[in-house]
Amino acid sequence: MHIMEGFLPAGHALAWTAVSAPFVFVGVARLRKVLRDRPEMRLTLAAAGAFAFVLSALKLPSVTGSCSHPTGTGLGAMVVGPAATTVLGTIVLLFQSLLLAHGGLTTLGANVFSMAVAGPWIAFGVWKLAGRLGAPVGLAVFLGAALGDLGTYVVTSAQLALAFPDEISGYGGAFAKFAGIFALTQIPLAIAEGLLTVVVMNALVGR
Amino acid sequence: MILEARSLVHAYAGGVEALSDLCLTVPRGQRLAILGPNGAGKTTLLMHLNGTLRPSAGQVLLDGQKVGYGRADLNRWRRRVGLVLQEPDDQLFAANVAEDVSFGPLNLGLPEAEAAQRVAEALESLRISHLADRPTHMLSFGQKKRVAIAGAVAMRPEVLLLDEPSAGLDAMGTAHLLAALDRLQAMGTTLVFTTHDVDLAWAWSDAVALFHQGRVIGQGTAEQILGDADTLAQVHLKPPFALALGLKARQMGWLDFDQDLPRSRADSLALLDRLGR
Amino acid sequence: MILEARSLVHAYAGGVEALSDLCLTVPRGQRLAILGPNGAGKTTLLMHLNGTLRPSAGQVLLDGQKVGYGRADLNRWRRRVGLVLQEPDDQLFAANVAEDVSFGPLNLGLPEAEAAQRVAEALESLRISHLADRPTHMLSFGQKKRVAIAGAVAMRPEVLLLDEPSAGLDAMGTAHLLAALDRLQAMGTTLVFTTHDVDLAWAWSDAVALFHQGRVIGQGTAEQILGDADTLAQVHLKPPFALALGLKARQMGWLDFDQDLPRSRADSLALLDRLGR
Amino acid sequence: MIEADRLAHVSRWRPLPLAEKSLLSLGLLILAMALPPWPGGALVLAAASASALRSGVPTVAWLRLLAAPSLFIVTGAATLLVQVGGDGFALAADGGAQAGALMLRALAAVSALLLLTVTTPMAALLHGLRRLGLPEELVEVTMTTYRFIFILLDTASAMHASQMARLGGQSWRTRIRSAGLLAAALLPRALDQARRLEVGLLARGYDGSLRTLAPAPAPRLRRLALIGGGLAALAGVGLWM
């Protein structure tokens, strides 16, 4: 759920950048500490980041007929943890906006918040919580990845609603509008991403 | 002709043509070598022959019929024409060998019992039945190659397209692989393979298509194409060693014109042996 | 001896020995081929020869001195002994060619100007100066191989270890690569390379070490080792074609014992030509 | 192959100093955000397009690059056409004007960003960020990520071709399964690639940091002034009209 370059008004773009910045700073600080102790992690992290980029280039079938792609944030949060996912996610979002014109520099802050902060933390939290509540491993993974994806989409809709409130019904109406339009593609996609993540985690455990 | 390419064009994003006006015919039951240097676009050509890529102009014909690119068309096409890529690691997905080979048969919608039958058959034809339960990541490179081929064979294709089948294999690995492919051909499978190795093409093909700068600049029997040193030189290739030696022997009168030319290293040494006597 | 391995043992986690009691000597200035089938552990051996791996028993000697495995020791060692892996993508990390080649010189602690000088020199010796600004991911496989070698050469090693240098290259790519390596040897670099290709070993080495099941089972001149068909057969290898032909010619009395054996395809055909006359 | 990346490497402007190119592109991006969409956005779009074409991007390629994000921009902007009231959906009174302005601003901003990426290879951009003080480690991870992306894209597309050849794209169910198996096979390949690269780099004296030479031509003040002047003029026209 990328917000395109120039789509948010300048004030919103700056505000979201300010909101995301601390998460990225904390992530980078932790990353630097890890890299001081284990320099070779540079290459491992780079491989994980590249994997996420390539995964997002993977076309997933969706029910509406249009093709969409997985966010990979749920998988990232489960494999390397949500904090590292924030940094890797930021790098991937930067490459997506520069190489594919998908997303943008002015909207990087907003996109980082929805896809590299909210998504991974929701996925991670749901996955852990479901596990603690006794859900089978597969179900916990599915719920984490699917809800992480849905969470991303809800946050993006909220970001758009804040920027473009409805003339009559205000923020609530605008949120309903954006959420409604994207629901067509995002709900099936969230399910697809959940299933995909289950397949990936199963295969990874099987190795 | 089981497969035919007519005036295929494949243009890259940058406007460079990987295939330009390429024509190729694949006779049923033969072993056809597509010979050319690296980076000439041979892999791209194979991908057009099973519909992985769609040409920007030109057509592919299967059994004389133009093929379509709809989902159902592609399915029918790929069922009949199998593709094995160069790097086996790019083609093995499941945790163990039998599971991996079953990927295709299950996608065909076969019931499990029949799929299992197909898997057993494919493993047997490649002589790797003993590997069935082995985890794929513990196989040697040569074994992986054979598993990748088994994955295609399990779909019982009429034509098997192989990208650089001997790449990365040592002499013994190559011999094992070619023996397995010989058995497939004996069962009626048409084999099309790419290679940059003139000696392999000479030792192991019935027909050769010479590939250069996105075109087939000559197609014929192995002897016609590989014996033509001038045309080969255009493509920066030299005639196969055994063939050059055989032609020299004919020229010297050591070998009659109705006698077969040596194909392999063993043939060549046998020829020299006869000379000595 | 610039390099020597004494009774090296390398045990895998599973308890399998990849190297067992391996001995090898590398004479200065020569081209030494380490010949053996795939999966025999040749790559593991190369990694021991520049300290990337540490043996569980045995020693490596550099210029007759035992080497240590401390950081400073390793640095000195790797400065003198360069390693080029088979797969260039395993060694190229930077976004463009000149940047990548500068990595080694900068690690040596050279000032930027001198590092730039080394880069230019290394690119020139591999004849790839025109690729300096090219992005790594847009190179052909053969170009990547040469860039990877340039990356090692820029550190001006006395010994260059090359893992399967011709793997994946076509005839022309191999010729270019070998010509570049010839130039390096002429400048004094000792070359050690692994291969499973007997013809390459015969055409392009001064000395051969025959590798089998984790040991060197024979080391000597190319003719001593490659002419010994019985020992080669133990390793499932056959004598090189040109050598077999040359020996046959000697045996028949067509080639005098003081005349050189043919090394390459061209030599062999020239020999036949002389016979004809 | 990624189109914008390829164009950057063959661009006529590739050798130009990064500061000059980024002043122009990012300056245009800021103007796109700051000026009223009409006529400011239109002016930025025109300036960015003219510059891109001048730098050697073929017209068709430029339009194709702009087209992909436009699709997303249009869907997003379309929501402004309707409003939600007590009695359901209705056409917004000035929705058309609002949506048009939004599309123009976004398109202008996208074109400014694309101008940077089709004239500047990623390595030069990252070296620039390093000079601006981005932590060394982050630059190195990002740079290596960039390198790995192309290796993994090749691997993933070969994997995809092989799955399709074995009818892995037959139905929705097989496609999900294929995509999952592909991702699962790709991740260990990626991590393995990282480990092998580590061995390869150790042999070249890798000590934990990935320093390389990064020659950067110095910007020329006269040209910076010229670009600044151009941007100011554009801003003036945008505000005055």
Instruction: Assess if residue B144 is contained within a domain.
Output: yes
pTM for this entry: 0.92
pLDDT of residue A66: 40
Give the number of other CB atoms < 10 A from CB of residue C260: 11
**Region label for C21, one of left (φ > 0), alpha (ψ between -120 and 50) or beta (otherwise):** left
Element housing C88 (H / E): none
Domain count, chain B: 2
Amino acid at D67: A
Do C92 and C209 sit in the same domain of this protein?
A: yes
Q: How far apart are CA B140 and CA B131, in angstroms?
A: 11
Task: Of A102, A15, A107, A20, give the one whose Cα is nearest residue A56.
Answer: A102
Q: Where are the beta strands (DSSP E) in C85-129?
A: none
Distance from CA of A167 to the nearest CA of D (A): 7
D109 in the same domain as D76: yes
Size of interface B-C (CB pairs under 8 A): 81
- The nearest CA of chain C is from the CA of B146 a distance in Å of 15
Same structural domain, D23 and D108: yes
Residues C120 and C179 in one domain: yes
d(CA B128, CA B120): 9
Give the domain extent around C245.
240-277
At residue B252, what are phi and psi to the nearest 5 degrees?
A: -80, -10
What's the farthest any 2 CA atoms get from each other in chain D? 72
Residue C3, classed as helix, strand or coil, is strand
| pLDDT given at position C268 | 86
What is the CATH number for C103?
Answer: 3.40.50.300
Confidence band, pLDDT 50/70/90 cuts, at residue C245? confident
- Per CB-CB distance under 8 Å, the chain D contacts of C157 are none
Same domain, D114 and D148: no
Domain total of chain D = 2
Residues written for chain D: 241
Minimum CA–CA partner of A207 in chain B: B95
d(CA C204, CA C181): 10
pLDDT for A64: 36
Q: How far apart are the first and last CA of chain B?
A: 45
Q: Return the structure tokens found at C12.
A: 């895998």
Q: What is the DSSP string of B87-124?
A: -GGGT--SSBHHHHHTHHHHHTT--HHHHHHHHHHHHH
Question: Residue D32 belongs to what domain range?
Answer: 3-127
Is residue D236 in a domain? no
Same domain for B102 and B44: yes
Tell me, yes or no, whether C23 lies in a domain. no
Tens-place pLDDT, residues D146-178 = 999 999 999 999 999 999 999 988 888 888 888
pLDDT surpasses 50 at B160: yes
DSSP helix/strand/coil, C228:
coil
Whether residue C139 is contained in a domain is answered as yes
In a domain, D84, yes or no: yes
If asked whether residues C248 and C200 sit together in one domain, one would say: no
| Same domain assignment for residues D89 and D175 | no
CA distance C100 to C123: 11
Cβ neighbours, 10 Å, residue C244: 22
**Contact predicate A182/A1, CB 8 Å:** yes
Q: Is residue B20 part of a domain?
A: no
Give C-chain residues touching B246 at CB under 8 angstroms.
Answer: none
| C219 & C257 share domain | no
Q: How far apart are the C-alpha atoms of A22 and A36, rounded to whole Å?
A: 21
Interface of C with B (CB under 8 A): 37-39, 140-142, 167-173, 196-198, 236-238, 241, 244-245, 248-249, 251-252, 265, 268-269, 272-273, 275-276
Q: Say whether both C222 and C257 belong to one domain.
A: no
- pLDDT at B118 exceeding the cut of 70: yes
Same domain? For D44 and D75 the reply is yes
Would you say residue B209 lies in a domain?
yes
Amino acid, single-letter form, for residue C108: L
B146-158 tens-digit pLDDT:
999 999 999 999 9
Cβ neighbours of D215 in C, within 8 Å: 98, 116
Q: What is the pLDDT of residue B77?
A: 95
Same domain, C124 and C149: yes
Work out the pLDDT band at A68, boundaries 50, 70, 90: low
**B186 and B249 assigned to the same domain:** no
Q: Is residue B2 in some structural domain?
A: no
**What integer best gives the mean pLDDT of chain D?**
90
- Which residues lie across from B96 on neighbouring strands? B135
In chain B, count of helices (H) and strands (E)?
Answer: 12, 10
Let me know if residue C44 belongs to a domain.
yes
Report the Cα C133 to chain-centroid distance in Å.
27
* pLDDT above 80 (res B223): yes
Report yes or no on B192 lying in a domain: yes
Quick: pLDDT tens for C137-185.
999 999 999 999 999 999 999 999 999 999 999 988 999 999 999 999 9
Is C269–B248 a contact, with Cβ atoms under 8 angstroms apart?
A: yes
B190 shares a domain with B247 = no
Query: What gap in Å lies between CA B223 and CA C88, rounded to an integer?
Result: 36
CB contact under 8 A, A45 and D184: no
DSSP type of residue A65: S
Residue where one domain finishes, among candidates D97, D127, D157: D127
What is the ipTM metric for this complex? 0.91
Interface of D with A in 177-206 (CB under 8 A): 177, 179-188, 190-191, 193-195, 197-198, 201
Q: What is the pLDDT of residues D187-196, one digit of tens each?
A: 889 989 999 9
Residues B106 and B82 in one domain: yes
pLDDT of res. B14:
65
